[in-house]
């Protein structure tokens, strides 16, 4: 009889001692890459989150924990298939110069949208099978470390420079394409901190 | 909203892309038509 009571008390104490695990907000990170890995003149490897970088054009490499156009060819492109056409794509232009780009909705080397550093602006372009159209422009000086952020939400595309709005356009081209990445025309520029987040 | 319509110029190459015939430095395309663009002038920086 006394043993039975003791077991009952222990059970009650056990139930009461459950620790509430604080809820953590769900992560919306799809792809994250700091490029903090060994130098390579021929490969980008995998993102920190595991996805494989695919070279669409040119030769890409890692140098001092950043990305560069190792082949020094024009229109070099590297992408990750994120699985998301609607998302936010961010990248840091660590060493900035003209013709470096954040690429989004890249179907192939001749079908994509991108934001490109021009001599005195950041411009949004569409390349539809070799037909190039400039869709927006934002004047700015280029500063190493410029952070470009592109919000892709259906046909609405909004771009920010260092957190400030550059432009918003309505563009249905390649609206369901899920490959996003980077582009460059020369080996001197450096990219860092590539991030894709769900909306 | 400061929407204006400009003729479409250029031949669609990288060097000479299709674009609105404007001298404004900060704009975004609102609507693309066969021979013209409706753009919003966002300012002049």
The answer, for A13 touching chain B at a CB cutoff of 8 Å, is: no
Contact A141, A93 (CB under 8 A): no
Mean predicted lDDT score pLDDT of chain A: 92
ipTM field: 0.96
What pLDDT, on the 0 to 100 scale, is given for residue A26? Answer: 72
Band of pLDDT at residue A5, cut at 50, 70 and 90: very low
Does A133 sit within 8 Å of B17, measured CB to CB?
yes
pLDDT tens by residue, A127-184: 999 999 999 999 999 999 999 999 999 999 999 999 999 999 999 999 999 999 999 9
Residue of A nearest to B37 (CA): A135
Whether the pTM exceeds 0.90: the reply is no
- CB atoms inside a 10 Å sphere around CB B45: 11
The answer, for B34 touching chain A at a CB cutoff of 8 Å, is: no
Band of pLDDT at residue A79, cut at 50, 70 and 90: very high
Burial (0-12, 13-18, 19+ Cβ within 10 Å), A189: buried
pLDDT tens by residue, B2-44: 899 999 999 999 999 999 999 999 999 999 999 999 999 998 7
Does B17 sit within 8 Å of A167, measured CB to CB?
no
The answer, for A142 touching chain B at a CB cutoff of 8 Å, is: no
The answer, for A37 touching chain B at a CB cutoff of 8 Å, is: no
Alpha-carbon Rg for chain A in angstroms: 23
Does B26 sit within 8 Å of A137, measured CB to CB?
yes
């Amino acid at each position: 009889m006394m043993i039975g009571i003791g077991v009952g008390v222990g059970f009650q104490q056990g139930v009461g001692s459950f620790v509430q695990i604080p809820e953590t907000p769900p992560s919306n990170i799809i792809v994250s890459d700091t490029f903090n890995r060994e130098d390579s003149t021929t490969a980008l490897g995998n993102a920190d989150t595991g996805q494989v970088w695919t070279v669409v054009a040119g030769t890409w490499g890692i140098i001092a924990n950043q990305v560069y156009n190792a082949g020094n060819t024009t229109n070099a492109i590297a992408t990750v298939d994120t699985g998301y056409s609607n998302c936010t794509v961010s990248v840091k232009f660590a060493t900035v110069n003209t013709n470096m780009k954040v690429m989004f909705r890249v179907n192939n080397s001749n079908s994509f949208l991108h934001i490109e550093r021009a001599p005195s602006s950041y411009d949004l372009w569409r390349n539809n099978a070799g037909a190039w159209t400039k869709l927006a422009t934002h004047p700015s000086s280029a500063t190493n470390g410029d952070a470009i952020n592109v919000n892709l939400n259906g046909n609405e595309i909004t771009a920010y420079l260092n957190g400030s709005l550059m432009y918003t356009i309505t563009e249905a081209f390649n609206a369901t394409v899920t490959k996003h990445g980077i582009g460059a025309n020369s080996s001197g520029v450096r990219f860092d901190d590539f991030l894709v987040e769900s909306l | 909203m400061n929407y204006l319509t400009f003729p479409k110029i250029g031949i669609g190459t990288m060097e000479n892309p299709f674009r609105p015939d404007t001298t404004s430095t900060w704009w975004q395309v609102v609507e693309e038509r066969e021979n013209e663009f409706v753009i919003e002038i966002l300012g002049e920086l």
